[in-house]
Structure 1
Amino acid sequence: MTETGPLTGYKILDLTQFESGTVCTETLAWMGAEVWKVERPGTGELGRYSIAEPDQDSVGFILVNMNKKSITCNLKSAEGLDLIYQLLKEADAIVENMGPGSIEKLGLGYDKCKEINPKIIYAQIKGFGMDGPYKDYPAFNPIATAVGGMPAITGFPGGKPLQSGLNLADSGAGYMCAMSMIAALLQRERTGVGQRIEVAMQDVVIAFGRSSWEPYYREGRPPKRVGNGMPLEDVGPAGMYPCKPFGENDYVHIYCSRHPGSKHFSNLCRIIGRPDLLEDERFATPRSRFQYKDVLDPIIEEWTGQHTKQEAMDILCKADIPAGAVLDCDDITKDPYLRKRGMMVELETKDRGKLVVPGFASRMSENHVPYKPSPGLGESNQEVYQGILGLSDEELQALKEKKVI
């Protein structure tokens, strides 16, 4: 089968680092785009090596740089910048997520890139809107989620706001940028016009939290923190219930719908052997069940405690009761279905042997791009600089000696 995907033939100049930008370009690469990852000569991008292991690629780097080609270039040298200008003429898009103002200082702002290649798709990921009061502020995932509204609704009543353990702002901004770039490339096919794309991590988190505006307008105040409950409304049952053998992540989340006509609660009462609860007026409605959750939850916990989290999930879901086992990285990595599906993929790495890591979340019937490990530093210099720009062996060697690449 030919190794092609929906983006095969498109060339992306990748000036990203850490997570948000690298997730964007990795997503494009997984769909067949040829991604030229530009790194510093000798040291690579800032996320390539960890402090503890400076001589081998970090797992974090491997996770977000699969299927790319690494080229080295000193962007602060005139000769290095000229190489990037030449590559811009051959590229369909350029992506960067540097700190505020950094790309402009390097001489690679939008106006300059558009001058070199009028059809370029120019994509940027920043923490905040580039025309607003926070445009010069630094931002990482926890900062973006804080100003995007997520911690304000995460945590237990009366407690501090809590951050999620997931990098939602980083990866979310990466996916949003990739989606926008694909749309821009499609539009360019029709119009012949390139464009600038700006994705702010704060905006992405706000968009993820759109459901918060339902209780906000209904109750006239920001939504309160509800722990493991239902954030849209005070309903029950909705929460985490412990399972055997009662380890740190041995829980199942159960949620019975708030909507009229739902059979979730009646099904739950039947499954746990307590049909009598349906005759108790305290549990007559989703809201009343929330009001008396201190009575109801221990009854449910008595049943879940007799099962493992996976057993509980299977029994409940087969009875049309929404439930989810709390799976951790170990559970997910060892899940045979996720391996078969291709969500978790086995990757042979240069420094770390075989790793099982998350792959591309979408299944596309005509995407035939195989997974490839993250590139070694500068391993595609010859392929790109000679194959794309036509540099000779002598020119390439001279650039290496001057530490331009």
Structure 2
Amino acid sequence: MPTTQTPATETIRKGPLSRFTILDATRVRAGPTAIRTFADLGARVIKLEIPPGAPGGDDMIGGRDHNRADYENLHRNKESLTLNMKEPQGREILHRLVAQADVFIENYRPDVKYRLGIGPDELRAINPRLVYASISGFGQDGPYASWPGFDSIAQGMGGLMSVTGKPEDGPMRVGIPIADLCAGHFCAQAIMAALLERDSTGEGQWVQTSLLEAQIAMLDFQAAQWLIDRKIPKATGNEHPLTVPTGVFQTRDGHINLAAIGQNMWRRLCEALDVPHLVQEPGFGSDPERVQNRARVNAAVGEVLRTRTTAEWTERLLKAGVPCGPIHTVDRMFDDPQVRHLGMARPMHHPELGDIEVVGLPMQFSRHPRGEGPMKPAPNQGDQTDAILADLGYGCEQIAQLRARFVI
């Protein structure tokens, strides 16, 4: 059965996943992103960190001091246990934790877990119900398995950079670590699927994903253009490759995003812009024709959009049923009334930083409201080490000896 052990110094957080315990041996971003979902949904997450003074160090993005905002946002709602898994006594502690856990996740290079003796076979021999999850750069085997994984490398190799940016500017990286983030989200989905399957079989399993696989999956229709139509998609900047006019247009006081997809939407747009004659303009009669005459269409639409403000056009176009919206900077986005209504900025009290906010989980549950229970700040390194070991039966003298030998 899933563990129901209560931490010695913690109160069980409410949430739909509060019955699960997860051991998080990941670093950098993809793995912590996967497990943040579970932590936000109430699971007990124990983050395994290399002890101070032990070789190896901690590969946190920016570290706690260099990029505190990122660290707090990525690692909230977790506990921290310092543990040197290279030492036999460290692995013994890990084995005790595994016996009670539901999930173990790692994102080492594929061979590292076997050298440490913590591979899926070893840990699942201790607890057959364990779901073992792995994230890598390029897969657990194959010609690139040993390559170090990094987000921008996966963006390039996964095809995304070839379809991003303006054609004249060459390949362009997306402004967020999308390969890392999507690998994390896909891994979370795989873990949840394995936990559901375990309910019927009684056994866990090994689930895997990689930055490269996640990035390719996110290409979606761009990948389908090649796989099915044998068409190599190209970069089209802010515009949609298959429908026009869709993209960013200048207004009298800024810019607006427009998405007039299909013939009905094109007709509504022309009427809202007071240029109904464009519907009958030669070369403008269908999406394929407008794609062929992209520059002419955009010039005709853009000329009209520059005559009013973004707010005026947004109100007018939405009333006509044409999808559109302003383009916010991050500060203005969080100040948007709909974003405030959705509660995407979650309040959190931090003992050093005071009252701050972090990005909320983009999910709503009718029986587990998003604001249920306070958010917990990201732990300092080893904050819960003594309490976790005490729960496992270690006495104060044993804990002191383990710390002196850099096992914890």
Q: TM-score, normalised by structure 2?
A: 0.88
Asked if the contact 2:110/2:141 (under 8 Å) is kept, the reply is no
Structure 2: gaps spanning 5 or more residues: 1-11
Partner of 1:390: 393
Distance 1:213 1:300, change over 3 A: same
CA distance in 1, matches of 2:86, 2:185: 29
Partner of 1:236: 244
Alignment of 1:78-117 (within 5 A): 78-117=88-127
Alignment equivalent of 1:192, drawn from 195, 199, 202: 202
Q: CA deviation at 1:213?
A: 4.0
Alignment equivalent of 1:166, drawn from 165, 176, 189: 176
Asked if the contact 2:120/2:206 (under 8 Å) is kept, the reply is yes
Q: CA deviation at 1:217?
A: 5.5
CA distance in 1, matches of 2:357, 2:310: 23
Asked if the contact 1:339/1:345 (under 8 Å) is kept, the reply is no
Q: CA deviation at 1:312?
A: 3.3
Query: What SS does the corresponding residue of 1:193 show, helix, strand or coil?
Result: coil
Query: What SS does the corresponding residue of 1:130 show, helix, strand or coil?
Result: coil
The answer on 1:404 being equivalent to 2:407 is: yes
Please tell me the residue identity of whatever aligns with 2:249: Y
Q: CA deviation at 1:222?
A: 1.4
- 1:143-182 Cα shifts (integer Å, max 9, x gaps): 1122222112223235412111122111111111111111
The answer on 1:344 being equivalent to 2:352 is: no
Q: CA deviation at 1:367?
A: 2.6
Alignment of 1:236-275 (within 5 A): 236-246=244-254, 251-258=255-262, 262-275=263-276
Structure 1: gaps spanning 5 or more residues: none
Q: CA deviation at 1:334?
A: 2.1
- 1:301-349 Cα shifts (integer Å, max 9, x gaps): 3343344445533432232112232223212222343233222212233
Distance 1:302 1:380, change over 3 A: same
Asked if the contact 1:57/1:351 (under 8 Å) is kept, the reply is no
Partner of 1:16: 26
Query: What SS does the corresponding residue of 1:384 show, helix, strand or coil?
Result: helix
Please tell me the residue identity of whatever aligns with 1:393: C
Asked if the contact 2:348/2:356 (under 8 Å) is kept, the reply is yes
Q: TM-score, normalised by structure 1?
A: 0.89
Residues 215-224 or 165-174, more deviating: 215-224
Alignment of 1:2-401 (within 5 A): 3-42=13-52, 45-47=58-60, 49-50=62-63, 55=65, 58-216=68-226, 219-231=229-241, 233=242, 235-246=243-254, 251-258=255-262, 262-368=263-369, 370=373, 371-387=375-391, 389-401=392-404
Query: What SS does the corresponding residue of 1:145 show, helix, strand or coil?
Result: helix
- 1:23-76 Cα shifts (integer Å, max 9, x gaps): 1111011111100001122387321654xxx74762221121111111111222
Residues 375-384 or 330-339, more deviating: 330-339
Asked if the contact 2:29/2:181 (under 8 Å) is kept, the reply is yes
CA distance in 2, matches of 1:222, 1:56: 41
Distance 1:359 1:310, change over 3 A: farther
- 1:81-136 Cα shifts (integer Å, max 9, x gaps): 22112111111110011233222222211121112222211000011121211111
CA RMSD of aligned residues (A): 2.3
CA distance in 2, matches of 1:197, 1:32: 22
